[in-house]
Amino acid sequence: MDPLSVTASIIAVLQLSAKVLGYLNDVKGASKDRTQCALEMLSLCSLLYKLRDHVETGDVSQPWYTAARDLGVENGPLDQFKQALEALQAKMTYRGRLKKAGEALVWKFKKEEVASILDRIERLKTVVEIALQMDHFKLSQAIKDDTGFVRTHVTTVESGVATIQQDQADARYSKMVEWISPTDYPAQQSDIIGWREEGTVQWFLDAPEFATWLGEPNGNLFCPGMPGAGKTMVAAIAIDYLLNFLRKSSVGVAYVYCTYKTQEGQDVCGILAAIVKQLVQGRPLAAEPVEQLHKHHADRGTKPSLDETLGALKEVLLKYSTVYIVVDALDECQDSDGTRRQFLAKLRELQAGQDVRLMATSRFISEIDAEFKTAVRLEIRASDEDVRRFVVGQMCRLPRCVQQDPALQNMVEEKIAESVDGIFLLARLHIDSLLDKTTPKKVKTTLANLSKGLAALDNAYKNALQRIKGQLDGHYELAKKVLSWITYARRPLTTAELCCALAVELDEAELDPKNVPYVEDISSVCAGLIIVDQESAIVRFVHYTTQEYFERIGDTWNPGAQLHITSVCLTYLSFDVFKTGNCASNEEFEERLRENKFLDYAAKHWGEHAAMAEGEVRELACSYLSDIKRILRRAQDCILQHDSDCHWC
C-alpha cells in the first residue's frame, strides 16, 4: 500500500470523527460520558493530523513507511476504527432523524457502550503515538497486536451493527403500524382492567355461553345490560382472558372500545383499521398488506379507502386460523350516519371468509338486539358476589369511623349490595357518597336513604352535586368548570389540555404556569364523578350515564358554560406567543403544538362552542377575527395538518 492510501484512510477517519463530534456537541444529557468521549476523540484527531503530515512529507524509502502502510490495510487499525465509527454514526443518524421530527437529541448510550468506544479510541491512539516515534519495529508489533485484538472482537462488533440495524427496522415498522391507525385501545384496556377487584366477573368466564362462544367457529356472543351494569369491565376481563389464555401464534385477538365522545377513528374505516393494527402489532410476517398500503399512500399524504382497509384486513386474517374480536358499548357507536350498521355488515362479511368470532356488549336497544337475534346471548348484570367484593376492596377509602368498626363495615356491605339491583356503577357512587361522612350516625343515615334501580343513578348524581356545592367556594368553582369542560368538550380532553384550559385567565395575554392546577386537585373536587385514565391520560366521566345526566341539567345547572368555554378558547388563541408569525415547516408546527397543549383543541373547536353559546359571544368572536394576520395563523394551525374540522364563524 502506498502512502497516498494510508493518507486516504486517515482522512476518512478524520471526516467520520468530525461528524461524531458534531453529534456529541448537539446531544443533551449524560454530560460526563459525553464530555469524556469528545475529549478523547479530539485527542485522537490531533494525533492523526500529525501522522498525516509525517506520511505526506517523509521519505518513502525509509523502513518506517513499510510498517506505516500497514495502518491502512483492510481490517487494519484505521479500517477497523472506521467501521466502529460507521456503526456509531448509524445509531446517531437514527437519533438525528428523531431530532428533525421534533424530539430532543439525548444521550442514548449505555455505560458498556461508552466503555467500548473509549477503549477503541485508546487502542488507536496508542498505535498512532508509536507510529509518531518513527520506530518501525515497535510500530509493526503494535499493529499486529491491535489487529489481533480487533479480530477477536469482530463478532461483537457485527452483533452491535446488527442490533442497530434491527432497531432501525423496528422503528420503521412501528411508524408504519401507527400510520394505519392512531387509536390506542390497549391503553384503554390497561386503564379499565386496572380498576378490577381480584376475582370479579368470574361468573362470566365460567358461564357456558362464554365457553360455547370460545369454541364455536364464526360464533357470535351478544352481551346486553342495563346502563351501569358493568359491561365495559366484563368486556375488559374477557379481552384479558383471551390475551392471556389463548397464546397461540395462529389465534388473533382484537378489540374496540366504542366511546360516545370519540369521533376520530370511530367511523367504519377507522374501526377496521384499528383491528388491522392490533392484529399486525408484534407480527411483522402478517403486516405485508399494511406495508403495501403504506407504500401506496404514505408519500402522497393520503389514507386508505374503506375498501382498501377491508381488503387488507381480509389478507391479515388469512395469517390466523381464528380471530376473536370484542366490541364494547356498541350502542355508543355512531349510527345517525349508518356507521354501526355498516360496521356490523363488514364484520359479517369477514366471517363469511374466515373464522372470526365476535363478542359485543350493548345497552338494551331493539335495533342492536335485532342484529344479534341468532347469536348466543348472555345478559350482563352485577352479581351480588362481585358487588360485595368491590365494596370490601373500597373500605380503605372510607372514613376512620368505618375502618375501625367491623359492624359498621358489615352494614355498609349489606346496604350497598341490597341497593345496587344489578347496576354495578351504583356501588361505586354509593361508596363515594360515604367519603365525607365522618361519624357512624351520618354513615347510617346515608345508607338508610340509598335508592335503587335506574332512577337511583340520577339520585346519586344529584347527591354528588350537593356534596360538590357544599365544598369551599374555590373548590366548587373549580369542579363546576371541570364538569362543564368534560360535558361540552367536542372530544375527550387529555389532562394537559384540561389543565391548560382551566389555567387561562380571560384578561391576560399569556398562560401563567403558576396558575395551572394539579390533576389530583381536579379529581378530588368532583366527588368521584370523573376519572383519569393513567395510560391514555384522558379525563372523562365515570360513566356514559354521567355525561347524559349533565347534558340534561346543563342549561339550568351552568347556563353560561358554552360562553365561558368559547371565551377561554378565543383568549388562548390570542396569546402573544402566537403572534410571532406562521410556522415555516411541519416540524416547527408540531413543536408549537407540543409546547402549547391546548392549541389543537382551541383552534379546531372554538367555533362549535361559539355556535352553541348565547348571542353575546358574537361580538367577542368578531373582535378576535378582526386581525387578518391572526386569521391566517389560525388557518395554518388547522390546514397545515390537513384538518377539515376547523371552524371560523
pLDDT digit string, tens, across residues 600-620:
999 889 888 988 876 666 666
418-452 burial by CB neighbour count: b if 16+ within 10 A, else e?
A: ebbbbbbbbbbbbbbbbeebeebeebeebbeebbe
Q: How far apart are CA 187 and CA 559, in angstroms?
A: 35
Answer whether residue 632 shows pLDDT above 60: no
Question: Shortest CA distance to 388 belongs to which of 362, 412, 371?
Answer: 412
What is the 8-class DSSP label of residue 539?
A: E
Answer whether residue 181 shows pLDDT above 80: yes
pLDDT of residue 644: 45
Question: Shortest CA distance to 495 belongs to which of 486, 504, 484, 506?
Answer: 486
Amino acid at 13: V
Q: How far apart are CA 566 and CA 172, in angstroms?
A: 40
Chain position carrying cell 439525548: 106
Once rounded to an integer, what is the mean pLDDT over residues 323-348?
Answer: 92
Tell me the three state secondary structure of residue 252.
Answer: strand
Chain position carrying cell 403544538: 593
Cell of 33: 460520558
pLDDT of residue 639: 46
Question: Shortest CA distance to 145 belongs to which of 86, 70, 84?
Answer: 70
| Domain 182-377 listed as CATH 3.40.50.300 | yes
pLDDT of residue 628: 40
Cell of 54: 509525517
- Identify the helix (H) or strand (E) that includes residue 573: helix 561-573
Q: How far apart are CA 347 and CA 647, in angstroms?
A: 35
Please spell the DSSP secondary structure of 469-490, one letter per residue. Answer: HTS-HHHHHHHHHHHHHHHH-S
pLDDT-wise least confident of 20-29, 160-169, 191-200:
160-169
Chain position carrying cell 392546577: 517
Tell me the three state secondary structure of residue 133.
Answer: coil
Percent of the residues in the chain that have a pLDDT greater than 90, as a whole number: 42
pLDDT of residue 103: 44
Residue 516 burial (CB count, 10 A): 15
Q: How far apart are CA 118 and CA 381, in angstroms?
A: 65
pLDDT of residue 287: 86
Residue-range domain boundaries for the chain:
3-179, 182-377, 390-453, 473-639
Phi and psi at residue 390, to the nearest 5°: -65, -45
pTM (two decimals): 0.67
Residue 145 or 355, more confident: 355
What is the 8-class DSSP label of residue 224?
A: E
In the beta sheet, which residues pair with residue 255? 326
Q: How far is CA 87 from the centre of its chain?
A: 31
Under the banding of pLDDT at 50, 70 and 90, the label for residue 37 is confident
CA angle 537-543-549, nearest 5°? Answer: 120
pLDDT-wise least confident of 51-55, 266-270, 444-448, 456-460:
51-55
Is the Cβ–Cβ distance between 564 and 490 less than 8 Å?
A: no
Q: How far apart are CA 528 and CA 167, in angstroms?
A: 43
pLDDT, the chain, mean: 82
Q: How far apart are CA 40 and CA 126, in angstroms?
A: 12
Q: How far apart are CA 438 and CA 108, in angstroms?
A: 52
Q: How far apart are CA 76 and CA 81, in angstroms?
A: 8
Cell of 486: 368534560
Under the banding of pLDDT at 50, 70 and 90, the label for residue 359 is very high
Neighbour-count burial of 159, counting CB atoms closer than 10 A to its CB (0-12 exposed, 13-18 middle, 19+ buried): exposed
Cell of 637: 394551525
